[in-house]
């Protein structure tokens, strides 16, 4: 190769790297999110029992397999309006299943297609982060714990997949589970929280096991988030509000069946508990962004006209749960929240005892 050609190649390499330098680096979880939720070059809507949900199940299984994990599919049927539909949980383990096991779970179905939702934050974000963490643990799984990742089907139609999974466990398997981290809508809202189960027990259908409202797992992941570089990346424990104990959450996601089986839970959720929403400061309103309110009153942190407000700052289950809209409204927010949660939870899972002992 002569000097001139070497020069040309060097020059083009420099130009290529310069182009990359000007592109914001895309984390793995954001790439997964796009593949799951973008309707044109991804899967898009993923309602329970639909083709979209099945495509997502295949996508998630294939990614787990690419990492080298052995995938277990747990299929189940459920009924909606007399119609029998099918779904499945997708399960992998990073280590020996006899070791103390920590579960990370995220539902992969979406809902509110009729309202225009593509389930970008609910729960494309949870699945995307789970996949990236599973990829990190391929090389670095802890030796004294097994980490189990579960993508749950049919959450939005009654927590069907997670209830089915917990019901399928033998007592000794339940006893082996240290805790369950639930990822449901982990990015998109104004802040990222982590909750434990309510101190007032959920109404559990399977009542032969003691209910757990243990805060051990919640506190461990809060601790793991503490020395993230900036304060913004730390998990928040929401303040107490009327009828709403500090840091606790209700039974409306996949953690429910685990708490009912006596398993400590930590539920990562992106929302905004400082908003005086439809039912008060309950975290159901996710953002103060005026686009998502008919009229937001900054002074009262709530609707200007409570009687006529329709939007209530909600992203989930609405037309605003689309990645393209959210990226325009909140440039880089989802990417940042995803990478913070991935970093924190991976850090915790790589050395659980460093955080659980406290
Ligand atoms: Zn959800």
> 298-348: per-residue pLDDT in tens?
999 999 999 999 999 999 999 999 999 999 999 999 999 999 999 999 999
- E-strand ranges in the chain read 72-80, 83-93, 101-107, 146-152, 177-183, 191-197, 248-249, 265-271, 296-297, 302-303
Cis omega (within 30 of 0) for bond into 329 = no
Q: Please state which architecture CATH assigns to domain 26-356.
A: 3-Layer(aba) Sandwich (3.40)
pLDDT of residue 26: 82
Task: Output the CA 263–ligand 1 centroid distance in Å.
Answer: 20
**Domain extents for the chain?**
26-356
- Give the burial class of 4: count Cβ atoms within 10 A of its Cβ; 0-12 exposed, 13-18 middle, 19 or more buried: exposed
Please, what is the angle between helix 125-140 and helix 333-350, to 10°?
40
Task: Output the CA 126–ligand 1 centroid distance in Å.
Answer: 9
Task: Output the CA 255–ligand 1 centroid distance in Å.
Answer: 11
pLDDT of residue 229: 64
pLDDT of residue 15: 47
Task: Output the CA 122–ligand 1 centroid distance in Å.
Answer: 5
pLDDT of residue 357: 75
Tell me what the mean pLDDT of segment 154-182 comes to. 97
pTM of the model: 0.92
260-290 pLDDT, tens digit each: 999 999 999 999 999 999 999 999 999 999 9
Percentage of residues of the chain with pLDDT beyond 90: 86
Query: What's the CA gap between 181 and 25, in Å, rounded?
Result: 27
227-247 pLDDT, tens digit each: 766 667 899 999 998 877 999
CA atoms within 13 A on the CB side of 46: 37
Task: Output the CA 137–ligand 1 centroid distance in Å.
Answer: 24
Residue 23 in this model has a pLDDT that exceeds 60 = no
pLDDT of residue 2: 52
Residue 121 in this model has a pLDDT that exceeds 80 = yes
Task: Output the CA 77–ligand 1 centroid distance in Å.
Answer: 20
Query: What's the CA gap between 174 and 262, in Å, rounded?
Result: 8
Phi, psi of 26 (to 5 degrees): -100, 120
Task: Output the CA 252–ligand 1 centroid distance in Å.
Answer: 9
Task: Output the CA 278–ligand 1 centroid distance in Å.
Answer: 19
Local structure of residue 229 (DSSP, 8 states): S
Task: Output the CA 245–ligand 1 centroid distance in Å.
Answer: 21
pLDDT of residue 1: 46
Task: Output the CA 14–ligand 1 centroid distance in Å.
Answer: 44
Percentage of residues of the chain with pLDDT beyond 70: 91
pLDDT of residue 75: 98
Task: Output the CA 253–ligand 1 centroid distance in Å.
Answer: 7
Query: What's the CA gap between 126 and 151, in Å, rounded?
Result: 9
Place 18 in a pLDDT band, splitting at 50, 70 and 90.
very low
Tell me what the mean pLDDT of segment 19-38 comes to. 79
Range with lowest mean pLDDT among 42-46, 132-136, 205-209, 301-305: 205-209
Q: What is the 3-state secondary structure (H, E, C) of 133-196?
A: HHHHHHHHCCCCCEEEEEEECCCCCCCHHHHHHHHCCCHHHHHCEEEEEEECCCCCCCEEEEEE
Residues 6 or more apart in contact with residue 348 via CB below 8 angstroms = 220, 221, 224, 355
pLDDT of residue 17: 42
Task: Output the CA 235–ligand 1 centroid distance in Å.
Answer: 19
pLDDT of residue 208: 79
Among residues 138, 48, 91, which one has the least CA distance to residue 346?
A: 138
116 within 8 A of 318, measured Cβ to Cβ: yes
Task: Output the CA 23–ligand 1 centroid distance in Å.
Answer: 31
Place 16 in a pLDDT band, splitting at 50, 70 and 90.
very low
Among residues 116, 115, 67, which one has the least CA distance to residue 94?
A: 67
More confident position, 81 or 122: 122
Residue 216 in this model has a pLDDT that exceeds 80 = yes
Among residues 302, 337, 261, 339, which one has the least CA distance to residue 25?
A: 339
pLDDT of residue 207: 66
Place 100 in a pLDDT band, splitting at 50, 70 and 90.
very high
Residue 20 in this model has a pLDDT that exceeds 50 = no
Task: Output the CA 159–ligand 1 centroid distance in Å.
Answer: 10
Tell me what the mean pLDDT of segment 190-212 comes to. 92
């Amino acid at each position: 190769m002569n000097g001139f050609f070497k020069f040309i190649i060097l020059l083009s390499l420099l130009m290529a790297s310069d182009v990359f330098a000007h592109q914001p680096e895309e984390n793995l979880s954001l790439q997964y999110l796009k593949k799951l939720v973008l309707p044109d070059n991804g899967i898009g809507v993923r309602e329970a029992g639909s083709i979209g949900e099945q495509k997502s199940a295949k996508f998630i299984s294939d990614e787990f397999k690419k990492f080298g994990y052995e995938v277990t599919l747990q299929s189940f049927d459920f009924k909606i309006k007399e119609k029998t539909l099918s779904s499945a949980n997708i399960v992998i383990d990073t280590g020996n299943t006899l070791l103390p096991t920590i579960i990370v779970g995220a539902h992969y179905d979406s809902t509110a297609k009729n309202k225009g939702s593509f389930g970008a934050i609910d729960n494309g974000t949870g699945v995307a982060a789970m996949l990236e963490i599973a990829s990190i643990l391929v090389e670095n799984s802890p030796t004294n714990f097994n980490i189990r990742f579960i993508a749950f089907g049919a959450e939005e139609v009654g927590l069907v997949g997670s209830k089915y999974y917990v019901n399928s466990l033998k007592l000794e398997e339940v006893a082996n589970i240290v805790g369950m981290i639930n990822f449901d809508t982990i990015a998109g809202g104004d802040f990222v929280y982590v909750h434990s189960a309510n101190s007032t027990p959920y109404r559990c259908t399977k009542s032969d096991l003691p209910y757990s409202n243990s805060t051990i797992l919640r506190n461990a992941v809060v601790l793991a988030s503490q020395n993230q570089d900036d304060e913004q990346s730390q998990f928040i424990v929401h303040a107490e509000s009327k009828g709403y104990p500090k840091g606790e959450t209700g039974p409306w996601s996949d953690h429910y069946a685990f708490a009912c089986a006596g398993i400590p839970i930590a539920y990562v959720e992106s929302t905004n508990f400082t908003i005086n929403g439809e039912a008060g400061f309950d975290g159901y309103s996710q953002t103060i962004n005026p686009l998502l309110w008919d009229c937001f009153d900054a002074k009262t942190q709530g609707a200007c006209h409570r009687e006529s407000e329709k939007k209530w700052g909600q992203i989930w289950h609405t037309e605003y749960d689309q990645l393209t809209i959210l990226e325009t409204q909140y440039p880089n927010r989802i990417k940042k929240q995803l990478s913070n949660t991935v970093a924190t939870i991976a850090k915790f899972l790589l050395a659980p005892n460093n955080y659980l002992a406290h």
